[in-house]
Amino acid sequence: MACQIGRNLGARVVGIAGGPAKCRYLRDVIGVERTVDYRGQDVAAALSDIDGGIHAYFDNVGGPMLDAVLPNMAHYGRGAVCGMVAGYDGVPLPGPARFDQVLMRRLRVEGFFIPDVLAAGGVFPAILREWAREGLLSMPFDQSEGIENVLTAYGRMMRGANIGKTIVKAMEGVSATMVDQPAAALLMNPDGMRDFDALVLYDMPGLDFEADAPPAFIDPPPALQVGFRALLEQGKGVLALHHALARWPTWGDYHEWLGGQFLYRQAHVRGQNRLDSGYRHDVAYKAGVIAHPVTVGLPISFAIQDELYLAEVFTDAVEPLLTSDASFTRDHFWSADLAVRGQMFCRDGWNHPPGSSLIGWTKMAINSKLVYLQPGDGVAAYDNPHYRRLVENALRWVANR
């Protein structure tokens, strides 16, 4: 899209892509002037012969790619940074090693997120729609079918195996937009969510696993706390999956709204000192189903394989949806605190009391319908048709659809 916008605005566009097929697509379909294959070429060397240097650079990669571009920028050039995909695999990004070029070439580099342009309303979509009508925009999609292929599609996107926007057509009539942190936090308010019917939570913000003594706890930004509460007061539906039980460990209100908490270390929870939580990967168990609109169409029980948590469940504040026949005792789980300190699959000295077998529930979070489903860690869960039905039911229920 960035290449096409630049081309339509009259710029000479050089596209950087991975592999001959993508480069060929940029030249033959998109119409860029030239391409650089970062998998087969020295990017810095390939860019060095651009007459006059690079005047504008659109960056959603960061890392070594950014280092290859900076020395080839024109004086007073501009860089727009909208992503850092080179660091999305959890490996800390170096540098940028050539940040000195920002000074020496008097560059202006600015980051931006979707919320930064929300105030512009319909200005940009109107321009894009006009270009599309005129045949000046090509909008390819790398589409997969079925929620069971969500993780596969995400992997293709992260490996650069897709051409165009990665989408998964999983539920009839449902359109989803995936937003990474920290941009996602900026959208969690009534204004940012005004065009969406429901919010799905899955990731674990608020935890820094790269800290010297991991995980370091990070407080939620004040704007997020205010915006998320306003969202719940407005009644926006929320579906929280698996890891969402561990996010924002210092935000007590969030966990009260959610109905539980996964602890990475001992903590004071609801007036009591509680040990760190337990985890166990790839547990084969039977899920017991409790009658509710979210569980319509499911059998009274079904087999599933996924990660389980021995965590804090506020059973007095939730309405049960799903239970597990697994044993939620210390001898069947591993300590999360020991795991992050380098002792994976260990429970030495960890005497966690027995926990709740509840793995799915619903509750009202202020004025919002909220559903939490503990299954959802691995491919086996998404391959399970009963789990897929459960997720779809939950999404439609919280969205009042």
Q: pLDDT, tens digit, for every residue of 187-226?
A: 899 988 988 999 999 989 999 888 888 899 999 989 899 9
Q: How confident is the model at residue 121 (pLDDT cuts 50, 70, 90)?
A: low
| pLDDT band for position 172 (cuts 50, 70, 90) | confident
Position 117 scores a pLDDT of 67
In terms of DSSP H, where are the helices of 77-122? 100-104
Give the rounded percent of residues in the chain with a pLDDT score beyond 90.
68
Q: Which 3 state secondary structure label does DSSP give 323?
A: strand
Averaging pLDDT over each range in 71-75, 94-98, 207-211, which range is the top one?
A: 71-75
β-strand 334-335 against 272-274: which pairing, if any? unpaired
Q: Would you state the pLDDT for residue 329?
A: 98
Rounded to whole angstroms, how far apart are CA atoms 355 and 277?
10
147, pLDDT greater than 70: no
* Across 130-137, average pLDDT: 87
Evaluate if residue 86 carries a pLDDT over 90: no
Other C-beta atoms lying within 10 Å of the C-beta of residue 394? 29
Cβ 13 vs Cβ 7: under 8 Å: yes
Q: Is the pLDDT of residue 81 over 70?
A: yes
Measured CA to CA in angstroms, residue 222 lies from 218, 287, 355, 384 at distances of 12, 38, 33, 39
Q: Which long-range contacts (CB under 8 A, 24 or more apart) does 269-272 make?
A: 269/312, 270/312, 270/314
Mean pLDDT of 239-248: 96
User: What's the mean pLDDT when you consider all of the chain?
Assistant: 90
Q: What band does 346 get if pLDDT is binned at 50, 70 and 90?
A: very high
Mean pLDDT of 262-289: 97
- What pLDDT, on the 0 to 100 scale, is given for residue 171? 77
Tens of pLDDT along 52-69?
Answer: 999 999 998 888 999 999
Cα–Cα distance between 220 and 390 in angstroms, integer?
30
Provide mean pLDDT across the span 150-178. Answer: 73
Task: Report whether 95 contacts 67 (CB < 8 A).
Answer: yes
Q: In percent, how much of the chain has pLDDT > 70?
A: 92
How far is C-alpha 115 from the geometric centre of its chain's CA atoms? 16
CA–CA distance, 197 with 20 (Å, rounded to integer): 40
Helix or strand (DSSP H, E) at 150: helix 150-159
What local confidence, expressed as pLDDT, does residue 369 receive? 98
Handedness of CA 351, 354, 358, 359 (dihedral sign): positive
